[in-house]
């Protein structure tokens, strides 16, 4: 069985260069557990705060989808404070997540295992494991996944401890939340344009991003740069 110390030592020894520590942890986890991909997202009581690490390909797409759509195992795991294990998405995804379900099936993902990253009742994030084959993780792999989740918690705290009070998030974490601030800005603009509340404005933007197959960040930037408007009395919303 792998240990937290072994995981952290393997990713912190030497200079990671352009690769962030959260990304290195995702890569190590994916290799060790022999899954298709791994992603890590920051979470709070307000919801998904952005992706801080993902292996190439499927994991990045799935993390972006959950951020864009506001639903999926990552969201449920953080909300419920427990692992959300979906060994056969074809059996559950379409009914449990009406928007995320079809997208995840189209992407060829067969199983997802989401593990909350938290300290007591404080939410930090979620570690997501993706596989292109069905089936449970197995006892040994499940145990190691929990250890990787513990290592991810220690890593997030370690990065943030390097910052002085009032300096905000560590640079390796800040980019994802910076993206979130643009989404918030666009949400406020849509709220005014469509004369709806902030929650409904965010839903409108998520729905449009899903309909046109673009990331919610790109849609937000279009709104901020006034290339896209959301007026409920118009059919095209452009």
130 and 180 share one domain: no
Q: Using one digit for the tens of pLDDT, what is the confidence trace for 23-74? A: 999 999 999 998 999 999 999 888 888 889 999 777 888 888 888 778 999 9
Number of domains in the chain: 2
165: left (phi over 0), alpha (psi -120 to 50) or beta: beta
CB count within 10 Å of CB 77 equals 28
Is the model's pLDDT at 236 over the cut of 70? Answer: no
Averaged pLDDT of the chain: 88
- pLDDT on residue 97: 94
Domain presence at residue 74: yes
> Residue 50's beta-bridge partner residues?
42
173 or 41, which is more confident: 41
Question: What is the domain extent for residue 9?
Answer: 4-161
- Same structural domain for residues 94 and 190? no
Of the candidates 106, 149, 103, the one whose C-alpha atom is nearest the C-alpha of residue 125 is 149
Do 36 and 83 have their domain in common? yes
pTM (2 decimals)?
A: 0.80
Would the pLDDT of 16 be above 70? no
Q: Confidence band (pLDDT; 50, 70, 90) for 234?
A: low
176 shares its domain with 109: no
**Would you say residue 184 has pLDDT above 90?**
no
Element (H, E) at 184: helix 171-194
Give tens-digit pLDDT for 152-166: 999 999 998 988 887
Residue where the block lists tokens 């190439």: 56
Q: What confidence category does residue 17 fall into, taking pLDDT thresholds of 50, 70 and 90? A: low
Residue at which a domain ends, from 161, 188, 213? 161
Regarding whether 60 and 101 lie in a shared domain, the answer is yes
Q: Tell me, yes or no, whether 198 and 130 share the same domain.
A: no
Burial bucket for residue 147 (CB in 10 Å: 0-12, 13-18, 19+): middle
What pLDDT is stored for residue 179 in this prediction? 66
């Amino acid at each position: 069985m792998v240990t937290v110390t072994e995981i952290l030592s393997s990713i912190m020894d030497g200079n990671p260069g352009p690769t962030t520590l959260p990304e290195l942890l995702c890569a190590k986890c994916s290799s060790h557990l022999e899954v298709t991909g791994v992603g890590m997202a920051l979470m709070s009581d307000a919801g998904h705060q952005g992706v801080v690490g993902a292996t190439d390909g499927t994991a990045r797409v799935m993390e972006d989808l959950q951020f864009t759509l506001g639903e999926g195992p990552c969201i449920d795991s953080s909300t419920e404070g427990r692992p959300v294990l979906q060994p056969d998405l074809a059996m559950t995804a379409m009914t449990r997540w009406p928007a995320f379900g079809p997208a995840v099936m189209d992407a060829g993902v067969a199983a997802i295992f989401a593990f909350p990253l938290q300290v007591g009742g404080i939410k930090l994030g979620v570690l997501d494991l993706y596989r292109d084959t069905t089936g449970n993780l197995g006892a040994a792999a499940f145990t190691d996944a929990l250890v990787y989740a513990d290592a991810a918690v220690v890593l997030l705290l370690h990065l943030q401890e390097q910052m002085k009070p009032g300096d905000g998030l560590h640079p390796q974490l800040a980019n994802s939340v910076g993206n979130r601030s643009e989404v918030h800005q666009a949400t406020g603009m849509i709220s005014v344009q469509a004369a709806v509340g902030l929650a409904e404005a965010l839903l409108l933007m998520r729905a449009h991003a899903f309909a046109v197959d673009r990331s919610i960040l790109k849609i937000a930037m279009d709104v901020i740069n006034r290339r896209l408007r959301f007026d409920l009395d118009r059919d095209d919303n452009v």
